[in-house]
Amino acid sequence: MPALAEIPTVAPHPDPRGCDLPTCPVCADSMVAAEASAYVSENVISYLWTCDTCGYGFVTKHALRRFACC
């Protein structure tokens, strides 16, 4: 069974899609899409990632930033 680790992250850019995708910490293969996502709190989302190459699994957490409304 693959190991499972939690890796907290905070996106440095307001729009992290496509530019801050993780790589596997074991084999360095790039990840394209998370297997699952869940709201942890009002402004935090966690993502479950599993490497297609080696099977290693890990969770990332992302804090959402609120933008001012018009």
Taking only the tens place, the pLDDT of each residue in 14-33 is: 455 555 778 999 999 988 89
Tell me the whole-structure pTM to 2 decimals: 0.63
Kindly give the parts of the chain with pLDDT less than 70.
1-19, 67-70
Question: Residue 11: what pLDDT?
Answer: 47
Number of neighbours of residue 63 by Cβ within 10 angstroms: 13
Contact predicate 49/34, CB 8 Å: yes
Alpha carbon distance 65, 50 (integer Å): 26
CA angle 46, 50, 56 (to 5 degrees): 115
> For position 46, what pLDDT does the model report?
94
pLDDT at 17: 52
Q: What is the pLDDT of residue 58?
A: 93
